[in-house]
Chains A and B, each alone.
Chain A
Amino acid sequence: MSKLSEKIAAFGERHPTLYKSIALSENVLKKTVFKCQGCGQCVLSHNAFTCCMRCPKQIRNGPCGGTRPDGHCEVYPERLCIWWLIHKRAAKLGRVKKLSKFHIPADRRLENTSAWLNMFAGRILPFELGKKSRDVNLTKKDPPSIK
Chain B
Amino acid sequence: MVSKSNFELLLNQGSFVVCGEMSPPQGADKAPILKKCAYFKDYVDAVNLTDNQTAIVRMSSMMSSVFAMEGGVEPIMQMTCRDRNRLAMQSDLLGAAAAGIKNILCLTGDYMTFGNHPDAKGCFDLDSIQLIHTASELNKGRFLSGDEVKSPPGLFIGGAANPFAEPFEMRIIRLGKKIAAGAQFIQTQPVFDLLRFEKWMAAVRDNGYDQQAHILAGVMPVRSVKALINMRDNVPGSMIPDECIKRMDVVKESKEDSIEVGVAMAVEIIKRLREIPGVKGVHLMPVMWESITPRIVELCDLLPRPVPASGDDAL
Give A contacts to B, CB under 8 Å.
Answer: 56-69, 71, 74-75, 81, 83-84, 87-88, 91, 96, 99-100, 102-105, 108, 140
Interface range for B: 35 or more
Q: Which of B99-153 contact A (CB under 8 A)?
A: 108-111, 113, 122, 124-130, 133-134, 144, 146
Q: Are B167 and A61 in contact (CB-based, < 8 A)?
A: no
Q: Are A59 and B146 in contact (CB-based, < 8 A)?
A: no
Q: Are A65 and B160 in contact (CB-based, < 8 A)?
A: yes
The answer to whether A102 and B167 touch (CB under 8 A), given A57-B108, A62-B173, A65-B189, is no
Among all A-B residue pairs, the 6 with the closest Cβ atoms: A65-B162, A74-B236, A62-B174, A61-B129, A66-B236, A59-B127
Q: Are A63 and B165 in contact (CB-based, < 8 A)?
A: yes
Give B contacts to A, CB under 8 Å.
Answer: 81-82, 86, 108-111, 113, 122, 124-130, 133-134, 144, 146, 160-162, 165-167, 169-170, 173-174, 176-177, 180-181, 189, 236-237, 239
Q: Are B129 and A84 in contact (CB-based, < 8 A)?
A: no
Count, A-B residue pairs, CB within 8 A: 97
Q: Are B127 and A67 in contact (CB-based, < 8 A)?
A: no
Q: Are B236 and A67 in contact (CB-based, < 8 A)?
A: yes
6 pairs, A vs B, C-beta closer than 8 Å: A57-B122, A61-B127, A62-B177, A67-B166, A67-B236, A75-B111
Chain A residues closer than 8 Å to B180, beta-carbon distance: 102
The answer to whether A68 and B170 touch (CB under 8 A), given A57-B108, A100-B177, is no
Q: Are A63 and B125 in contact (CB-based, < 8 A)?
A: no
Q: Are A64 and B170 in contact (CB-based, < 8 A)?
A: no
Which of A68, A71, A83, A100 has the most CB atoms of chain B within a 10 A radius of its CB?
A100
Chain B residues closer than 8 Å to A62, beta-carbon distance: 129, 170, 173-174, 177
Q: Are A71 and B166 in contact (CB-based, < 8 A)?
A: yes
Q: For the A-B complex with A62-B174, A66-B237 known, give 19 more contacts whose Cβ atoms are closer than 8 Å.
A: A57-B109, A58-B124, A58-B127, A59-B124, A61-B128, A63-B165, A65-B161, A66-B110, A66-B236, A67-B165, A67-B237, A68-B165, A74-B237, A84-B167, A87-B170, A102-B129, A102-B180, A105-B134, A108-B125
Q: Are B169 and A87 in contact (CB-based, < 8 A)?
A: yes
Q: Are A102 and B144 in contact (CB-based, < 8 A)?
A: no
Q: Are B166 and A68 in contact (CB-based, < 8 A)?
A: yes
Chain A residues closer than 8 Å to B237, beta-carbon distance: 65-68, 74
The listed residue (A56, A71, A87, A103) touching B111 by CB distance below 8 A is A56
Which of A64, A66, A75 has the most CB atoms of chain B within a 10 A radius of its CB?
A64
The answer to whether A105 and B236 touch (CB under 8 A), given A57-B124, A67-B166, A68-B166, is no
Chain B residues closer than 8 Å to A60, beta-carbon distance: 127, 130
In the complex the two chains form, what is the Cα distance from A108 to B126 in whole Å? 11
